[in-house]
Each structure stands twice: as C-alpha cells, then as structure tokens.
Chain A
Amino acid sequence: MKVFVIDVARCNGCYNCQIACKDEHVGNDWTPYAKPQPDTGQFWMKVNETVHGSVPKVKMSYVAMMCMHCENAPCMNNCQPDAIYRREDGLVVIDPEKCTGCMNCVDDCPYGVIYFNDDLMLAQKCTGCAHLLDKGWSVPRCVDACATDALRFGEEEEFKAEIAQAQVMFAEYGTSPRVYYLNLPKKFIAGTIFDPEIDEVLIGAEITCQNEKTGEVFKVKTDNFGDFWFKNLDVGDYSVWIEMGGYLTQTMEHISTIKDVNLGDIPVYKEVKVAA
C-alpha cells in the first residue's frame, strides 16, 4: 500500500508540486483516471504559506495540501453512483465516467480537497497520478518535481520510521489518511528577558514552561540575545517561570497557545538586598 510522506521542515515553498500537478492534469485527459483539471480554481496539490508569531519571533512554513487518500474515506460514503473507489495500492480515485456530479463528496470531504468542475459537471481531485504509476512511474509528478525531497511517495513498509513520528491531518475525524506529515508547525512560546535597571538582556536565565493540564515540563536557557523559545508545543494553557541567580523569580500563568505566543521583552528585577 502506498503512502505520501510530507516533511514540512524541508519544504521551502517553491510551488513546484502545485505547478507540476497543473502541468500533468490541465489540458490532459487521463480518462479513466481523471478528466482534465481546469486552468484555475482547482488545486489538486496546493501549497499553503503560514507565517506565525510576531516580530521578532516569527517562523514561516509551507504546508502542501492534497487528497489524503483516506483509509476510511468520507467521500466514499454518500457517493450516489458509487463512482469513488480505492485501488489496490490504496489510492482513492473518482471515476470520471461514473460521477454524476451530485457533489456529496465535495461536501463530505473534511479536508476541502475535492473540487467541483462546473463545465464537466464532475467532482475532481488528486489521483496520485495513478495513470503514471500504472505506466511504470515510481512516484507521481508532484513528488518527482519536489526540489527538496520534502514530498516522498512509496510503500508503507519503506516509510515505517517516518510514519512512527508523523502526524496526519485531523486525526480526530478517524479518516486514517495515507498522507503523513512530519514536522507540522506546532505552537511556540517565545520571549526576551532583560534587566530594565541596566537595560541589558540577560543571558543564561533558566526558563521553565509547564503544560497546565498534563503537567509536562520543558526547560531552556536564554541565548546570547536574551531570547528563549519553546517550540513544538501542543495547543493548551501553559505556565512560564523565569529564574536567574540574583534576580526575583517571575511567573506567568494561563498562556494559551491557540496562536503562537511572543511574550515580548520581559523585565526581571534584582533581588532586594536586605542589610545585615
């Protein structure tokens, strides 16, 4: 059974996959696999740019979106003419000759990757370039055109190690996608620690971050710019406390990571020296 593995950390957003898909499917009729993709409006493979955080704590990533070729594909549930089928290699294909354009699959797909073609009155989506695979290609066009090896395709067995660390999109829907993502951007909490009395950043301050629900604890030290980053956090509420010898410990609670968090410049103050 085939799988896609998409390593977001490797993707520099070059759009080759998006354009290769266009090149392969626009103006080319690959019936019985697929009718031509329209010039515009449909993206069977689409690169989404995300920029998160706020200056100067900003990260940028690109996430390629495509049909997830789900094991439990919602699109197959309500297809009136039974036009959607799963191949032996696991790819999910809409038979363009059977599709009656009822649009149920377009509505049922939680990933928004099935498009409706008004001219042909057809639902259309990624076929995994099954027409090429059947001709002997080892990978679809998008994977072939990937300049950074961020997109890979092959037997599930070959990718065991990657899959063990991977995530799928909306796992909670129980669709069991065959597209696995590595290094999807998780949330971060970042900030800069400084001493306002001397107007200097503090290097080596110990920062602790705790997930208030699970109790999981992370620790980092501020770098040469007084900066700290907690990366790859799940969405949740966190407490952060800042400790440094000679300084008052500072605590911040209920920091939500629904969005990435830049706590900005955080002042910490020297301990009061009480005369003996």
Chain B
Amino acid sequence: MGEKTKPWRWQEDDLTVTRGSAWSGPGCHIGCGVLLFTDKDGKLVKVEGDPDNPFNQGRLCVRCLAVPNATNHPDRLKYPMKRVGARGENKWERITWDEAYDTIVKEFTKVKEQYGAESVIFCQGTGRDIAPYISRLAWSFGSPNWVPLGLTGNACYLPRVAGCIATTGSFWVADCSQASPLRYDNPDYKVPECMAVWGNNTVVSNADGFYGHWVVDLMKRGTKLIVIDPRLTWLASKAELWLQIRPGTDAALALGMLNVIINEELYDKDFVDKWCYGFDQLKERVQQYPVSEVSRITWIPEEKIIAAARLFANSKPATVQWGLALDMTQETLPASHAITALWSITGNIDVPGGMLPPPTLLFYGGGWGDELISDEQKAKRIGLSKYPLYQYGFVVAQPDEVANQLETGEPYPIKAAWIQTNNSLACMSADPKKTYAGLRKLDFVVGVDLFLTPTIVACADIVLPAATYPERDGLRFGDGPQRGEAINKVTQIGECKSDMQINLELGKRWNPEAYPWDNVQDMFTHMLKSKGVDYSFQELREVAPIYPPQEYKRHEKGTMRFDGEVGFNTPTRRIELFSTFYEQAGLDPLPYYKEPTESPLSTPDLYAEYPLVLTTGAKHWGMFHSEHRQIPHLRAIHPDPTLQIHPEAAAKFGVKAGDWVWVENSMGRAKRKVEITPIMDPRVVNADHAWWFPEAEAAEPTLFNLWDLAINQLVPFQPGKSGFGGNYKSLLCKIYKVAEEEV
C-alpha cells in the first residue's frame, strides 16, 4: 500500500482513467479513493475504487458505484435560473452566470446597506464539501451568520467534536490505523481487542470520515464488538454483546458502565493518576447511576451492562466508534463527556488501537478566513447571548435562534439567505414548517444545488447549478484523520460549476481582496501552502494521497499542546473528567443523564396518548440524507419511506406489512410504509428521514409530496442547555392507517 502502480491519469483501451477522491456532491462524509473512467466524449461512464488508496483499499459503496447515474442524470440543474412565477410555482427562466451574480450582488448589497450584512444568512447542509468556502463567502461579505439551517442544537457531529475539545483539547476517533498509509501493516499498530460501536450503523452510514468496512476488517482480525443500538443491525447480530438501548438514554448507559468500572477498580490507575483531572468527583457522580437504575432507564438488562463494562475495561486496547445518536440527544455534551471518560479512565487515549487524535491539515469545522470579518460584526452572530458556549472556539450561528429570529425579526431582521447544499425543509430542519414560513418572508433567497429540491422550489428566487465531484477539481480535507487528496475534474455537465468556483467568483465581486486568486486551482495551492504543505494543487494530484506524520502518545511527547508542553490541550493539561471549561460556561462540569423531553419516564401522560418511542434518521445503503431518491438503481434497494415496527406492536396497532400509516405526535404527522421486523424493540419504532418524491409534482401545494413525508414535522426545535443537542431520535408517537383515499 502507498506505492502507486500508475500515474494520476492514464489511458485504458478507449477510456481515460483518472485517479481522485470522491468528496463530494452527491453528499458523502468520507472521500474514498476512486478511479473515474471517461469515454472519448468526456462522459463519465464508470467509477471504481482505487486499489492503491490506503483509505478504502479499492472498495467503494453503492453510492459511488452509481455516481455516473447521478452526474449524468437528466434532471440535473444545468444552468442558472431565476424565478418567474410566484415562489412555489416552480416557474423558472434560464439566465447567464453573469446575470445571476449581478442580481445576487445587487440584492445582498441592498440588504447590507439597509439592515447590515448580518441580515444575510449563509446556510449549509452536510456532506458536500463547502464548509471552508461558504464560511469565507459569509465573512468576506461581512455576515457572521453561517448556519446549518434548521438543525436544532447543531445536532450533527459538532456537539461531539465540541464536547471532546472542551474536555480533552482534541477530537478522538477509533483507531483503525487509518492515519497510516501502511494501515494494518503499520508495525506500531495494535488491533483493538474490543470495539464499542455506539449509536451508528457504521457499515451503512459511513459517517464522519470513518469507512464502515474497517469494522469488518477488525472483526476479521479478532476484534470483539459491543454494539449499542436500538435496532439489531448486521453488526449487532455479529457482536459479542448487543445492548438494545432505549433511544436517547446513552448518557445513562455510559455512566452505568463507569459505575461498574470505577467501583470494581477496573480502570487504568496509572493513567488516571497522571493524566486525568477530577476523578474523585467523577467517582462520586457515578454513584448516582447504579446498574439497577441504569437498567430501568435504558431498558438494557443489568447483566449486559455489567458484562459490557467489564469487557470494555479488560480489553487492551479498546476503542469506541461512536455516531450521530450521541449528538441527537438533547443533553448531548454530558453524554459525550461520559463516553470520553469511559475510554480515558481505561487508558485508551492515544494508544495504538485505542482512540486517536485525528491529524489535521485544515480544521474545516472552524471555517476559513475569520480575519475577513470585524469584531463588531462577529459580535452580532445569532445565539451568542443565549448560548455563551458558542463563543468559545465555535464559529457557527445557533440554529434554533436563527429559526426564532427568522420568525420574529428580533433583535434584528433577517432579509436574505444563501442556501448551499441544504435541502433544509426535506432534511435537517426540525419543525420544517417554521423554517418554511421564515424563509418565505425573506426578500431574496439563493439556492445552490445539484437538483431542484423542495427547499429551492418553495423558497428560492435564483438557483445555481452545482457540480458533482467528477465535474470539479478540489482538495479533500474533511472529517477524521486528514490526508492530502486531490479531487480531479473529468467531465462537464451543462454550465454547472463547483461550489468552490461559485463562491470564488461571487466573493470576488463583493470583496476582491478576500479572493486574490484567478481560479480555484490557485486558491487550493494557497490553502495548501498556508498550512505548510509544500505542494501546489497540480503537484498534489501527482503524489496524492499524502499523509501527515503520525505518532502515538503525543501527550507524553509535548506534541498535543500548541505550546509544546507535555499533556493535553486543556487548562489543566489533563483529560478533564471534571470540566473547567463547562464550569466557566455555567454548565455542569461533570457528566450526567437527562431524560428526553418527551418519554415514557418523563411524560407518562403523553406516553399514554402516544404509546411508541419514535427514533428517526437511520441511514440506508443507497441514500445520503435527502439525496439519491431520483437514481433508479439505488431507489430500487429501498423504494419507499418505511416505519420499522416489531411484529407484536404491529399486531397490537392493527397494521400489516406494506400498509401506509400516519406517524403522529402533538406537532404533526408523516406517512410511512410499514416494515414488520423483529430487529425492533416492541416499544420502539424507527422512521426513515429526509424523504420527498422527485417523481411527484414539484409545484405547490404538492411540493414533491413533502408535507406528507417530512418526518421532522414531529421534531421540535428543542436544543440542550448549551445550545447543542436535539431530540431527533427520542420522541413519542402514535400510528394509524392512512385512509384509502389518502394513499
């Protein structure tokens, strides 16, 4: 591995093969090494995994195998358009890029002059590689309001990252030797004896820079799994222990495991002694979580909690591959804090096969170019006063407060929005009708995407066609350990442009000093050089992937901290089991568990009316959030939005497999097709998220059947105390059959 057998581009029969990275458009959180095959007309005809790329070692998932179907899809947006009917009528007229840019600059500038730059919000979703570029666009315009539109409590990835950095000074990922180009052959690496797969179905979701098949690689090498999941996944059915957890109670489980590990003295006393701060306070706190109580809360049998705690603590090394379920609990920070404590006190920090601080080239979550915006403008970032934690190292606006401000215009009005890779109404927005009403009040909205989406049809005045990854050059930074990967353009569809090119060309018009580059390649070269990578973009594509050097036990060597001292990047230089940072921000400095806002235990009366626990958002193989519904081969794998329900519950509620049902709570309802399966607990149902039907009428009121299908109509804007976390995965609902005429 690492020795490439061929250059970055070569000829194979009548096809041209180009090596590259698959990040992104369509959405993805990974960026596997790919080989793109184009014919003599420059048409993308096939994608294969790059066997020379250590990350995926030649493997791919179905979404990349089907990328030609997405890139070449007849329904792609192919040129800029402006709205000619009313919003929602889906009437558009083709315009030039120049006219589009001119109009956007004119309208945004009008808002800036009348209300201030902060009245234009810059909204992004997930999975398309734009964080550095959209943040620069917002800041170069003078707006501090870069936001994942509608994502209550920023409940995706950022809470875990934020929580880890706050308490340990770094983010941590499960070590599958992904930071080494030698991978499993790295002589320093040790295969973990045990991996807790916590709150994600790794092989399907491929989340956060973590390639799911690595878990299978480790299983083949002897790793035992503890799978914590409300559903019996394939991994769970192969696990040493499957803990079928009640959704939203992960913090309680972690605290119960800590209780066992601490009281049975199974922790790493030497590591705790040297490198942990606040162990005695943590020890006192976990006494509130005896296994019997934790079993009552989590619905997991006591003996399984004890067995999991012992297996994890006695495995050397042990690691945790955690997922979105942690972010999508309302009190997400204490949940992450508890899990961080689990791997810390067992001595699994920064050891081979334990938890790895991901080497970083560009911390893209922090945005790019904050020197472009004044302190005065920065202070106007939405949500800062209500959620002080957002001031410490975080640069996004608080989405719940953005939603409120869209509604009320207080403390200042929002007048325009730039929406890039964000089908908010169909996907991430909680209470999407609130977001819809807010956007519809705006004077001017721009949408940038691959296809027409419900969000664009309902709200946009100008729409710009974005490129998929085979249509663009780029750099792959992204989640997890970063590598220097080049994304190489091989084809052109219509007048589509990459998100980076669009932002460069638009930003140049309103702030040329912020964009001194002639083209995206020069911009990428600048980004590389400014991070100490001594390659131009053109040189990088020849040598990619490049790996930053990796070493273990950096805290002992003084390379974890920016000041070169030994220890971790926290005020105490230790892993803070008791967080000085949270204490300073007025939050509980120790991990704790809070029951979901609505639940069988917190609201028994409501539970009587809505007798099922509802969890949402689980991924399917062929779909990335709201995308891929128009790709026939992928849609065939999972053609309809489903509700998974246990056979006993199905019998109790009188529904059969294939029935269409309404899933309803006090906020709203959505249609789902019943899938009866024993993988569920009879008290819990699992609903697909992010559905719309591209094949349905686009114009309102149908709007691609959005309002029949959007499950987030049941999800409230309800963040945790810190402004992080939400209740996407732990709600209550009832179900009943859809009337014959409504199917």
Contacts and interface: CB of A to CB of B under 8 A. Distances in A.
Contacts of A224: 303, 307
Contact of A23 (B66, B622, B647, B679): B66
A13 B234 contact: yes
Contacts of A201: 303
| Residue in B59, B68, B634, B679 whose Cβ sees the most chain A Cβ within 10 Å | B59
21 contacts: A13-B234, A14-B203, A14-B204, A14-B621, A15-B637, A23-B65, A23-B68, A23-B633, A40-B636, A54-B678, A55-B232, A55-B244, A60-B232, A60-B236, A60-B237, A61-B234, A145-B49, A145-B60, A147-B60, A148-B216, A225-B307
B646 interface: yes
A210 to B, nearest CB: 27
Contacts of B62: 14-16, 18-19
Nearest to A57: B678
A51 B636 contact: no
A56 interface: yes
A204 interface: no
Given A51-B679, A55-B681, 15 more contacts: A18-B62, A19-B637, A23-B633, A55-B232, A56-B244, A58-B232, A58-B679, A60-B236, A60-B679, A145-B60, A145-B65, A147-B61, A147-B213, A148-B213, A224-B303
Interface residues of B, number: 42
Contact of A19 (B234, B634, B682): B634
B678 A15 contact: no
B234 to A, nearest CB: 5
A20 interface: yes
A55 B59 CA distance: 33
B303 A16 contact: no
Interface residues of A, number: 31
A80 to B, nearest CB: 31
Contacts of A15: 62, 621-622, 637
B632 interface: yes
Interface in B638-684: 646-647, 677-682
A14 B61 contact: yes
B633 A19 contact: yes
B59 A147 contact: yes
Contact of B203 (A12, A56, A59): A12
A26 interface: yes
Interface string A162-174: 0000000000000
B558 interface: no
A18 B62 CA distance: 9
B489 interface: no
A26 B68 CA distance: 11
Contact of B637 (A18, A23, A54, A56): A18
A26 B301 CA distance: 49
Contact of A58 (B49, B65, B237): B237
Contacts of B680: 55
A19 B237 contact: no
Contacts of B573: none
Given A59-B237, A60-B233, A224-B303, A23 B203 contact: no
Nearest to A56: B244
Interface string A31-65: 00000000110010000000101111011111000
A22 interface: yes
4 nearest A-B pairs in the assembled complex, by CB-CB distance: A147-B59, A19-B62, A22-B633, A60-B237
A211 B647 CA distance: 29
A58 B679 CA distance: 7
A225 B61 CA distance: 37
B677 A51 contact: yes
A159 to B, nearest CB: 19
Contacts of B61: 14, 16, 147
Interface in A173-207: 201
Contacts, number: 98
B175 to A, nearest CB: 21
Given A14-B621, A39-B632, A19 B678 contact: no
B46 interface: yes
Interface in B613-645: 621-622, 632-634, 636-637
Q: Is the interface of A mostly helix, strand, loop or mixed?
A: mixed
Interface in B290-316: 301, 303-304, 307
A228 to B, nearest CB: 15
A18 B622 CA distance: 11
A144 B59 CA distance: 9
B643 to A, nearest CB: 16
Given A55-B681, A201-B303, A16 B65 contact: yes
B226 to A, nearest CB: 14
Interface in B235-285: 235-237, 242, 244
Nearest to B236: A60
A23 B46 contact: yes
A128 to B, nearest CB: 18
Contacts of A147: 59-61, 213, 216
Nearest to B681: A55
Contacts of A23: 46, 65-66, 68-69, 633
A201 B242 CA distance: 18
A148 to B, nearest CB: 6
Nearest to B646: A55
Interface string B67-78: 011000000000
A19 B679 contact: no
A16 B56 CA distance: 14
Contacts of B60: 16, 145, 147
Contacts of B69: 23
B31 to A, nearest CB: 16
Contacts of A39: 632-633
Interface in A201-248: 201, 224-225
A105 B203 CA distance: 38
A148 B217 CA distance: 8
A26 B66 CA distance: 11
A26 B45 CA distance: 11
A224 B240 CA distance: 12
Nearest to B647: A54
Interface string A59-95: 1111000000000000000000000000000000000
A20 B677 CA distance: 28
B234 A60 contact: yes
Contacts of A53: 678
Interface string A1-23: 00000000000111110111011
B633 A51 contact: no
B622 A225 contact: no
Nearest to B67: A23
A123 B305 CA distance: 55
Contacts of A13: 234, 621
Contacts of B636: 40, 43
A55 B678 contact: yes
| Residue in B216, B235, B636 whose Cβ sees the most chain A Cβ within 10 Å | B636
Nearest to B235: A12
Nearest to B56: A147
A73 to B, nearest CB: 27
A224 B301 CA distance: 12
A133 to B, nearest CB: 15
Interface string B32-66: 00000000000000101100000000011110011
A16 B65 CA distance: 7
Nearest to A53: B678
B158 to A, nearest CB: 28
Contacts of A144: 48
Nearest to A52: B678
A225 B621 contact: no
A58 B678 contact: yes
Interface string B593-621: 00000000000000000000000000001
A43 B66 CA distance: 15
Contact of B234 (A12, A20, A22, A40): A12
A58 B216 CA distance: 20
B317 to A, nearest CB: 23
A265 B237 CA distance: 20
